[in-house]
Amino acid sequence: VDPVAALRRIGFLLEREHASTYRVKAYRAAALTIAPLDDDQLAHRVRTRTLTDLPGLGPKTAAVITEAVQGRVPTYLAELEAAVAPLVEGGEQLRSALRGDLHTHSDWSDGGSPIEEMAVTAVELGHEYMALTDHSPRLTVANGLTAGRLRRQLDVVRQLAERLGTFRLVPGIEVDILEDGTLDQEPELLDELGVVVASVHSKLRMDRSAMTRRMLRAISDPHTDVLGHCTGRLLAPRVERSPRRRQGSSAGRNTAETGGRPQSEFDAPAVFGACAERGVAVEINCRPERQDPPDDLLALALETGCLFSIDTDAHAPGQLDWQPYGCARAEAAGVPAERVINAWPVDDLLAWTRDHTHRP
């Protein structure tokens, strides 16, 4: 039993079950600490009970490592594995059609993990590709990337991509739709990216006609590929299903503080009509506290002929496994797989982001 793999798997399973990144951090930190040690060094630490002398290792992580080194599946990991169940009913067909995720965050903006941890987890989930879409400069609360930082990130992504074999790490951005509808990043830099998700994050309550103009302008920008969480709503925290879920639940981090947020008002037929006309995909955001667009708007977008992108908006590796939440809703609404851009092969996807007319 590989102790590093055991620690990473515990982190993944906790996050999948909505534990906070903070709570999971100890397991990831422990994995990083022991990764450089060879088998003999680890075995010696276990024999002499000196694992906890290492930085960041406590009794819980040391117990996991000890059991793994002794050739047993760690008790805590076995408990978590035994509790693994589908997150939601339905959506299995669409989920199996998905090949990647086009909306994810790393610790470069407000995510909790390094790019590599996100990418490797996407590989383990069976994805063929993942777009990294950290926030843009004006979203300072989320440590949005300036043009300079995004350029540095592009270098990091290119280097990492070389080590990931056939898996494609696609450089992207979740760019803010500013109040006037322009996008919050240099156009030349947006040109270099594989995928641009454009989202409204500020002034969500502006009046209906102004919000409609704002969104239409963003959709008409040729850089925009995906319209992110279009209503911006946040649902109030749900009643948790089990005590374990209750402990570290952070899925509704924002809603826990605010008690939810109503959807913003806009002329939905006009907005979805523009998306359909421009070939911009409407995101089906999988986050349980978002479930955006709501059912009525999802039905309208489908009827209007829009493309869709079923994305996790993951801020932590375990959240990359949240696609079933969106797939269940999409399948219930009757969204066919061929209208879902992240069910397309990566080459078709990237040909489409260039001109929005390509279809597989």
Please identify, using beta-carbon distances, which residue of 110 and 116 lies nearer to Zn ion.
110
Residue 300: CA atoms inside 13 Å, Cβ hemisphere, count? 16
Tokens of 169: 């790490």
Please identify, using beta-carbon distances, which residue of 199 and 291 lies nearer to Zn ion.
199
Please identify, using beta-carbon distances, which residue of 174 and 225 lies nearer to Zn ion.
174
Q: C-beta of 81: minimal distance to Zn ion in Å?
A: 29
Kindly tell me which residue out of 199, 212, 309, 353 binds Zn ion, with binding defined by CB under 5 A.
199
Tell whether residue 134 is a contact of Zn ion (CB under 5 A).
Answer: no
Tokens of 100: 């990647």
Please identify, using beta-carbon distances, which residue of 62 and 341 lies nearer to Zn ion.
341
Kindly tell me which residue out of 174, 176, 292, 331 binds Zn ion, with binding defined by CB under 5 A.
174
Neighbouring CB atoms inside 10 A of 187's CB total 11
Q: C-beta of 312: minimal distance to Zn ion in Å?
A: 9
Residues near Zn ion (CB under 5 A), total: 3
Tell whether residue 212 is a contact of Zn ion (CB under 5 A).
Answer: no
Please identify, using beta-carbon distances, which residue of 74 and 288 lies nearer to Zn ion.
288
Q: Which residues contact 216 (CB under 8 A, 6 or more apart)?
A: 181, 270, 271, 274
Q: C-beta of 105: minimal distance to Zn ion in Å?
A: 6
- Neighbouring-strand partners of residue 100: 129
Closest to 291 measured CA to CA, from 248, 249, 328, 342: 328
Per CB under 5 A, which region of 27-35, 36-44, 60-68, 166-174 contacts Zn ion? 166-174
Please identify, using beta-carbon distances, which residue of 199 and 264 lies nearer to Zn ion.
199
Q: C-beta of 329: minimal distance to Zn ion in Å?
A: 18
d(CA 337, CA 307): 10
Tokens of 235: 């649902």
Tell whether residue 313 is a contact of Zn ion (CB under 5 A).
Answer: yes
With beta carbons less than 8 A apart as the criterion, state whether 283 and 200 touch.
no
Closest to 151 measured CA to CA, from 138, 128, 134: 134
- For tokens 């999971």, what's the residue? 24
> What are the residues binding Zn ion (CB under 5 A)?
174, 199, 313
